[in-house]
Amino acid sequence: MVVEVEEKIKAILISELEIKPGILATSNSSTPLLGRGIGLDSVETLSLVAGIEKEFDIQIDDDDLKVDLFKNIGTLAEYVLKKLIEKKGR
């Protein structure tokens, strides 16, 4: 399940943030989203969050928007998965 979420996040990175598919092809769960890695900055992380909320129909709390959340694709995917499980349980 988490792999599917990761793939969808990668698709958002390509469609919404125009990240080169080549960069993502060589990325994995532990590829950092910020700085070296995917190279997102503080403005782009907000665009990614908006894209994720739309794609998964979830709400991401501002309080959760910490550097740790964007540590890598895996941490973000796990967070999204947790939100999806919470949504299902409601």
Partner 1 sequence: MNTIPEMLKTVAKQNAGRTAIVDEGVAIDYATLERRITSLAAELYGRGIRQGDRVALLLPNGLDFVIGYFAIAALGVIVVPLNDHYQQTELLYFLEECGVSLVITSQSFARLCDQVLSMCRSPCKLIFVEDQTEPSETALTSLPDLKVEIDPDAPVMYQFSSGSTGRPKRVARTHANLLFELNSLVQTLRLSNEDRFLGVAPFSHVNGLMRSMMASIRAGAALYPLAKFERQAIAEVIENQKITIFIAVPFMFSMIAKTNFRKRPDFSSLRLCVSASAPMPKKLNEEFYKKFWIYVRQLYGSTETGTISVNLRSDIEGSIESVGTTISGVEVEIFAEDGCIGNVGEGGEIAVKSPGAIKGYDGLDEVNREVFRNGYFFTGDLGKKDQGGLLYLIGRKKFFINKGGYKIDPHEIEELLESHAKVEEAVVIGLPTSYGDEKVKAVIVLNIPTTEEEIIKYCQGKIADFKIPSLIEFRGSLPKSPTGKVLRKMLMES
Binding site for partner 1 (CB under 8 A): 16-20, 35-36, 39-44, 46-47, 50, 53-54, 57-59, 61-62, 65
Nearest distance from C-beta of residue 52 to partner 1, angstroms: 9
Residue 49 · residue 65 · CB < 8 Å: yes
| Cα gap 41→2, rounded to integer Å | 24
| Cα gap 43→68, rounded to integer Å | 16
Nearest distance from C-beta of residue 17 to partner 1, angstroms: 8
Closer by beta carbon to partner 1, 29 or else 39:
39
Nearest distance from C-beta of residue 27 to partner 1, angstroms: 13
CA angle 68, 41, 3 (to 5 degrees): 55
